[in-house]
Amino acid sequence: MWLIKIYKLCIGLLFSNLLYAQTPLSTEIDNLINKTLPLANVGVYIKDLKTGEIVYQRNANKMFYPASNIKLLSAAAALYKLGPNYRYKTQLGKVNKDIFLIFSGSPSLTAEKLQDLLLQLPKLGINKIDGNLIVDASIFKPPFYAPGISYDDLGWYYAAPSSAIIINENAVAYDVRATKLNKVPEFTTKVLHNPLTLINDVTTVSKAEEKEHCSLNIQLIKENQIRLYGCIAQAEQAKRMHLSVPDPELFAQEIIHQTLAKNGIELKGKVISGKAPKEVQIIAQVESDELTKLLAHMLEESDNLYADSITKLLAVTLTGDGTYKQGAYSIKTILTEHTHLDMKQLEIADGVGTRYNLITPEQLVVLLSDLYHDEAIGPTFLTILPKMGRSGTLKDRMKKTSLAGKIAAKTGSMHDVSSLSGYLAAPDGKEYIFSIISNGINTNILKAKDLEEKILLAIAKEKEIKTEPLNNN
């Protein structure tokens, strides 16, 4: 009996090998991977969009850190649950003598829009607030940093806190001029409302010294004070640097005090924190852009704060509890209902893509396939993805190849991780879904980006033939 079982097993393995026999294309891709990233872990899964045929696979069912490719899941869940026309609302409310400023976690709220909202008070005949002005940021709960965020990232714009109060993306842009060796570089900003107090303990050094001996470091102190120390390389041109605002509520309070004082609105009480009661009367509000525009920005710029906000918003919508944990639960719950994702082959801890997230290349392709064939949100999803050589984080890639404008995909990058997943329209008229993820990169990450592009060119077969843009018809 056992001989029969062994015979059947051998036949099965033989059939499997014949089914996925090595082709010239797969040999070419294997050689590309082995030559470019011989020591890294590389996972690839590529399918024909129409037939479902597997064109190439390598470690397709292995778990990888996807970096910002996890934002594909966040965006999909948001479209399914909230709809493309959803808008955040930042509101003013009134209860007796008190005025409530109710934040919603809107990631696109600016200081100017917040001022405009506060200036609705005199237009409503409210030139004096007899009670308190109460700031309600209760919709999102701590922690305000994703569980897997790196300590080294704190203080930089891509690790801005995800409280319900988001003003100017909770970041400040500085122009840094480091022209004189061994001198303190100059930090300047054109931001009208700068909540940060910057302590500059940085020294300008040569590029060689920076590379070998020192780095630029950041320290969060208190009350939106940030200390920069270490070194920065000498350069003739100014460098743009973005720092995060550690305490957004303090920033909001500063804007409130300035706006009220400047416009003659008297406040008898204080600016305090609190939660609006159910009986609050909404008297004014400002809305964000529709969700599709917010998601397009999130995917094109790989904006972590937008992803954080949308993840927590999904948590509030589904569970009433605006935390990362409930956000991850909500994304999984929504995608389980609407897609064929196998939740045993992924781990979601946040909507951003920290190292606490894991997924297989195959599951990313499953998601992309489901989205493409979904008549309700498929067309919208394609429009919000970055386009190769045209927009977002793909704007400067493959610009001089025939695939410029023919690939819609999401990038992912962090230390020793690179990923690219999306759709490809080939010169021969075929369309493909792909996911390429590299982990454990012990060389320049640009080599992983180069590998991604070479694999896509190998799939497309042609480099100079002009093709029509990808569509979902």
pLDDT higher than threshold 60 for residue 342? yes
Overall average pLDDT of the 387-405 stretch? 96
Confidence of residue 27 (pLDDT cuts 50, 70, 90): very high
Output the pLDDT for position 21.
57
pLDDT higher than threshold 90 for residue 279? yes
Confidence of residue 41 (pLDDT cuts 50, 70, 90): very high
> Could you tell me which residues are beta bridge partners of residue 64?
359
Output the pLDDT for position 151.
86
Q: Give the count of alpha carbons within 13 A of 445, CB side only.
A: 14
CB 384, CB 408: distance < 8 Å: no
Overall average pLDDT of the 400-409 stretch? 95
CB 55, CB 22: distance < 8 Å: no
CB 33, CB 58: distance < 8 Å: yes
pLDDT higher than threshold 90 for residue 30? yes
Query: What value does the mean pLDDT of the chain take?
Result: 93
CB 102, CB 109: distance < 8 Å: no
Output the pLDDT for position 430.
94
pLDDT higher than threshold 70 for residue 100? yes
> Could you tell me which residues are beta bridge partners of residue 92?
101, 284
Output the pLDDT for position 106.
99
Overall average pLDDT of the 33-51 stretch? 97
Task: List the chain domain ranges.
Answer: 18-83+293-460, 89-141+248-288, 151-244
SS3 179: coil
pLDDT higher than threshold 80 for residue 20? no
Output the pLDDT for position 50.
93
pLDDT tens digits along 76-91: 999 999 999 999 999 9
Overall average pLDDT of the 436-457 stretch? 98
pLDDT higher than threshold 50 for residue 2? no
Per-residue DSSP letter, 159:
G
Side chain identity at residue 329, one-letter code: Y
pLDDT higher than threshold 90 for residue 23? no
What are the start-end ranges of the H helices in 304-347? 304-319, 324-338
Output the pLDDT for position 152.
86
CB 232, CB 185: distance < 8 Å: yes
Cross-sheet strand order for the sheet of 271-273 = 271-273, 133-136, 98-102, 89-95, 281-287
* CATH code for residues 89-141+248-288: 3.50.80.20
Per-residue DSSP letter, 400:
T
Output the pLDDT for position 468.
42
How far from 181 is each of 178, 235, 380, CA to CA, in Å? 8, 10, 51
pLDDT tens digits along 374-392: 999 999 999 999 999 999 9
CB 200, CB 172: distance < 8 Å: no
Distance in angstroms (rounded) separating the CA atoms of residues 341 and 119: 47
Overall average pLDDT of the 301-313 stretch? 98
- pTM for this prediction: 0.91
CATH of 18-83+293-460, one of 3.20.20.70, 3.40.710.10, 3.40.350.10, 3.40.47.10: 3.40.710.10
SS3 124: coil
Confidence of residue 148 (pLDDT cuts 50, 70, 90): confident
Confidence of residue 249 (pLDDT cuts 50, 70, 90): very high
pLDDT tens digits along 191-235: 888 999 999 999 999 999 998 989 999 999 999 999 999 999 999
> Could you tell me which residues are beta bridge partners of residue 197?
225
Distance in angstroms (rounded) separating the CA atoms of residues 96 and 23: 75
> Considering the chain, what percentage of its residues have pLDDT values greater than 90?
89
